[in-house]
Structure 1
Amino acid sequence: MPLSCIAIDDEPLSLQLVKTYVAQFPDLELKAVFDDALAARQWLSQHPVDLLFIDINMPDITGLELVRGLAHKPMVIFITAHKEFAYDGFELDAIDYLLKPVDRERFGKAVHKAIEYHSFRTGQPTPEPDVIFVRSSYQLVKIKLADIEYLESVEDYVKIHFATGRPVMTLLALKSMLEKLPSQRFIRVHRSYVVSLDKVKSVVNKKVQLTKDQVPVSDSYFPAIKHLQVK
């Protein structure tokens, strides 16, 4: 079933461009378009949708204010000419931020991100999911569990390390992050570290050797890992 969506923008050209792009995606069903944010808010109170494409800087009420006031919280893709609004949108859990003028390729990436997140959020839970979604740098990031080497607690953040590629930082406690992961594949070895069992090469002298890096094992967690069967 396609995602129901609406577009809200006080600029006619921008609104028309979004309409044109949405029509190219069979997974989207455009229910309405609005150049008046107050009218859109009234319509949404009676017609909840899955996804909003919405401008931020509009007269009468901003896109941020409109989204904050919605009883039913849809996924949101902000379309704006102002980078400085990105942090505020992040607080509202926006799927993505598109800077005007929006090109077709960038629009498509945002749409596919929304489709994947919707499937993840509404799909049947499985004992071992293949991916998780985290928020990083004001956007939703899909991470394959098979790519994770270990997690590191850095103050209020979790730093996700991979065997290849740059780490990803997300504002989350390590305990909360661990709850998102299948226990059959990840284990805590230290107050500040969680490792992927698939990436463990050896456990020697209270250190875990992974594919690329080495992390310490604390005394309290050592009994749970000392007899680990290394692959």
Structure 2
Amino acid sequence: MNCIAIDDEPLALDILKNYIKQIPNLALIRTFDDAIEGAAYLKEHKVDLLFVDINMPDLSGLELVAALDPKPIIIFTTAHKKFALEGFELEALDYLLKPTPFERFEKAVNRAFEQLTFKKIILPAVSESIIVRSEYKMVKIELADVDYIEAMEDYIKIHLISSAHPVLTLRSLKGIFEQLPKTQFSRIHRSYIVPDAQVRSIQNKKVRLASGKELPVSDSYLDFIEKWKTRKDNPN
């Protein structure tokens, strides 16, 4: 499991480095004492686990994590108890108070190993539903019930076949697409994802769904048209 650490305190980073060296199969890729630099790195690189301080200048750890999508496993490290609730609202795995004993650190990392194993082994085998946060609660979405998914600035709307009311969630289209099985869903536009099974026809770079909804296929995703035609001609 790889990880990075972001903390504006050099001593705190040194302690993390020392702790991480003692954990088998945990590799520290980078450390950052500047939150903005760390955030920029995370936008370009996939990381399994992020250790991040909360109270930092320019960009707090809470703000940094809130902007990440998809998010790695998050462990907050801070000297302030008052941020705990906000940290867990961002779906952080754990919240370590400084100074952190090694045994407490090791326990948090073991939980991270368990969660990563679950993500890599269990979740890919389950392709019938996904869980998203909407209106301060977790909502189960049956993939067979998805009509299409639409980007709306910082949010996405998951339009359902069974309901006139879409599910609104604070995610990016890229983030939700990574959560979906690629054998069942395709991105056709910077603003749209469709279930392949719901596509009934494609004409003039427009997809017509079983619901009757028509959506554009952008030039960047024209390969979807060929992929769909191939599947249609060779259903097996």
* TM-score interval, smaller chain: 0.5 to 0.7
Output the amino acid matched with 1:23. K
Q: Which residue of 1 aligns with 2:86?
A: 88
**Match 1:107 to one of 105, 108, 127:** 105
Q: Which residue of 2 aligns with 1:52?
A: 50
Q: Which has the higher helix share?
A: 2
Output the amino acid matched with 1:46. E
Relative distance call for 1:122 and 1:14 in structure 2 (3 A) is same
Matched, 1:36 2:49: no
Let me know the Cα RMSD of the aligned residues: 2.2
**Match 1:10 to one of 5, 8, 13:** 8
Matched, 1:75 2:66: no
Deviating above 4 A after TM superposition, structure 1's stretches of 4 or more consecutive aligned residues are none
Q: Is the 8 A contact 1:56 1:63 kept in 2?
A: yes
Structure 1 unaligned residues grouped into runs of 5+:
128-170, 177-231
Alignment of 1:203-222 (within 5 A): none
Q: Is the 8 A contact 1:48 1:72 kept in 2?
A: no
Q: Is the 8 A contact 1:56 1:79 kept in 2?
A: yes
- With the length of structure 1 as denominator, give the TM-score of the two structures: 0.53
Structure 2 unaligned residues grouped into runs of 5+:
126-135, 141-236
State the alpha-carbon separation in 1 of the partners of residues 32 and 97 from structure 2.
19
Q: State the Cα deviation string for residues 109-133 of structure 1 (Å, max 9, x = none).
A: 0000000111122214699xxxxxx
Relative distance call for 1:106 and 1:46 in structure 2 (3 A) is same
- With the length of structure 2 as denominator, give the TM-score of the two structures: 0.52
Q: State the Cα deviation string for residues 47-100 of structure 1 (Å, max 9, x = none).
A: 120110000000000000000111331000000011110100111111101000
